[in-house]
Structure 1
Amino acid sequence: MGTKSAFNWITLWASLLFVVILGFSRLSYGMFLPGIQRAIGGSYGHLGILGTVNFIGYLIGTLCLSPLISRFPYGKPLINRITCLLLGLALIGSAFSHHFTQLGLWRFVIGLLSSFATVLVLSIALDAVRPAERGVASGLIWLGGSAGILITGLFAPYTIDPSHLQGWRFAWAVMGVFGVIAAFGFEFVTRRRGAEKTLLQTESQLEEHKSENVFRLLLNPNRLLYLVASYFFFGWGYIIYFTFLIPYLVSKGVPSLYAGMIWSGIGFAGLFNGWIGGKAIDRWPSGFTLALGLALGMVGVSGAAANQVWFTVLGAAIVGMVSFITPPLMTTALLRRHVPHHAYTACLSIATAFFALGQIIGPIVGGVAVERYGLQLGVASSAIFMAFAAVFACLYGYQQRQGATYSPRLQ
C-alpha cells in the first residue's frame, strides 16, 4: 500500500479514536468532577489525586510500550486493537464506581491503556500518510480530542447539575460504547486498506537499527531535549487548567448549562486549532511556531485570574483556538521530521512519558494550590508552566535555526 493524502479513512477513524483516547478517557474527568464529588465524596484535593493516578498509569504505559515493541517488533497492530477495545470497556466499567478506591483503580487502568493507544494509533495512521502531509494528518487526528471535549460539554446539564446525581455514570457508559465502536472501525479500515502489511514491512527495518540510542537522541541538549522539556511543561500546565476549570466556574455560580457551553466552546475552537496547527507546522516546522501557540495559551489560562467570568470565557476560547491541540500535534509532527523513521515509535513513546510525568505533577501541584489559595488562583497557576513550555519551545526553535538538530531524509 502506498502512502496517502492526509484525508483518508484511516485518519478519520484515528480521529474518532482520539475522541475517546483524549476527550473521553482523559479530559472528561475534569468536566464530571462536581458530579463525582457529590456521588462519592472527597475534597477537590483528594479528587485531584485521582487525576494523578490516571497519569501514573499513563506514564507506566508509555515507559512499557517501547521495550514491548522492541520485544515484539511486528506486534503493533495486535497490541493496538486489544488496547483500544479494552479502553472502551474500561470507560464502561468506571461508570459503575461507587467509592474512591474503585474509581482510582479504573482511572489507573484507563491511563495505562490510553498511553498505549495514543502512540500506536498515531504511529499506524501517520505511516499511511505522505510525509509532506503528516502535519495536517496529525492535526486531523488530534482534533478528535477537541471533538471529545465538545461532546462532554453537551453532557453538562446531566453530569454536573445536582438534580442528576448519576448523570456522569450514564455519560461514561455511552462514551465507552462509542470507544468500542471506534476501535472496530479503525481495525476495519486498516485491514481493508492494507495498512497492517505496510506497517510490517516498515518494522522489518528495526533489526538493522538496534544500535540507535533513543534516550541519547531525545535527551541530548544539542538535539531534542528542549522540545521534550517543552512537552513536559505543557503537560504540567494544561492539565491543571482542564482539571479545575469547571469546578471553578461552578464555584462562581455559573449554571451547569453555561459551564458546559464554555467547555464545549474550548472543544469547538480546538476543531479549528487542529486544522490550523497542522497546516502551520507543515509550512513552518519550527519550535518558534510551537512557542507562539504556547504563549497565547499562557495568556488564555491567565484569564482565570480576573474576577470577571467573561475574561475566563475569553481565555478559554483562546486556549481552545491556539494551544489545546497545537502543542501535542506539533510535537508529534516535529518528532516525525527530526528522528529516524525506525526510531519514531520509541521516541514518541518516551516523549509522551515526559508529557505524562508533567500531567502527574500538575494535578498534585494544582490540588495543593486550590486547597491553599482557592480555585481561582489554582486554575490560573497553570499559566506559569505554560510559560516555561513556551520558553523551551523557543530554545528548540533557536537550536533548529543553528542547524543543530538531526534532520533525517523523509521516507
Structure 2
Amino acid sequence: MHVSHLSLQDFRSYAQVDLELEPGVNAFVGPNGQGKTNLVEAIGYIATLGSHRVSTDAALIRAGQERAVVRTRVVRGDRASTIDLEINAGRANRARINRSPVPRVRDVVGILRTVLFAPEDLVLVKGDPDARRRFLDDLMILVSPRLAAVIADYERVLRQRSALLKTAGGPRRRGRPVPGEEQGSPDLRTLDVWDAKLAVLGAEIIAVRQRLVAGLAPFVAEAYGRVSAGQGHAEITYRSSLAAALDEPEPDAPQAPEAIESQLLEAMTRLRSKEVERGVCLVGPHRDDLTLTLGGLPAKGYASHGESWSFALALRLASYNLLTEGVGNDDDLWVVDSREDGEPVLVLDDVFAELDVRRRQRLADLVAPARQVLITAAVPGDVPESLVGARFDVLDGVVGRVL
C-alpha cells in the first residue's frame, strides 16, 4: 500500500498543493513552521479522520475559509482508490470514494492505513492514561474499521449515562435527600437501561483491546530490543478498571465479551451508590489503561528520556509490524489479512532530530524495508543517508521536488 498523490485545498497553511509521491522514502525537508507536518497530517487524517496535533477539525481549515479539501490516491496492489474528504466549518464533513459520495464519512476508514510517530508520542509513556487509551482505540480501528462505530456508540451511551447519574445524584450532592432513591425510582430504572447498553458496548471494546495488547506485546518487546540494542526488556499489559471494582486480579488471557459484559454489570451494581453520589461512571473502558514496564519497573517515572523515546517508538513500530504481518482471531472480533490490505504507510514526523546518532541509525535500518515511508525533517542532515528516495523542499508554504 502507498499514497501516490496528495492534493490539498485550504488545508492548514496551504491554499493549494498537488504532489506526486512514490513508494519507498519520501522526505519533506525545510525549516520549522513552513508546513511540512501539515502534509503528513493530511494523509493521517484520511486514514483515521483525526489529527495527531489537534482534537477538533476547525484548526485544519485555512484561516478565513469555510472548508478544506483533502484528496489522496491510494494504491493497494494493482488497484487504486481516490478518496476526497471535505472538512467543513459548522457543518457535517463529506466524503467521496472514486468520486462517488458515501453515506457516512467513516466509510472511508480502512482504505488507507498509516502508522505515525511524532514527538507528541512521548505522552504515551510519560502522560495520562487517556493518551494510551486513544493509542489502543486508534489501532483497533486500523485493525478492524467497523470498531469505529462501536467506539462512537459507547461514547454516546457514556455521555447519556453520565448525564443521568448527575441528575439522579444532584439533590444528594447539594445535601438534600433524594426522592425515591430506592431501586424502583424512575431515574434508577432508566439507569438500568443505560447500564445494559454500556455493558454490551464496553465489553466488546475491552475484549478487543485485550486481544490487541496480547498480539502487540511480543512486537513491542522485539522493537524495543532492536531500537535500544538490547538494553532493557519492555512489556505491555492491559489494566482494566473491572479488576479493582470487583477486587479480582487481572485475567491471564483475553476474555470473551459475554464474560466481560457480566462483570461490567456486576461492577456497576456494586458501584451504583458511589456513581450516583459523584455523578460519574467509575468503571468501563474509559477508565482503563495500558501499563508499560521496563525491566520490571513502570516506565512512567523510572525510564530515562532516551528510554521513554525508545519505548514510544517501540509502540509505533510494533503497531506497524502487527498490521503488516496480519492478525486473526477465531471469534471474528477482529481480523486483519495483510496479504489483502497491504502494509500501512509509515510516517515519521520530525522524529530523527529527537534521537541520538545510534538510535537514529537503528530506526533507519528498521524502516528502510517499508513499502512507503513519509519523513519530515528540519535539515537534510536529520535524514540518515541510508534512507534514499524522493525529497521535497518545503519553504514558505511552497513544496518543490528536488531532482
Specify which structure has the higher proportion of helix. 1
TM tier, smaller: under 0.3
Larger Rg: 2
Give the TM-score normalised by structure 2: 0.27
Give the TM-score normalised by structure 1: 0.26
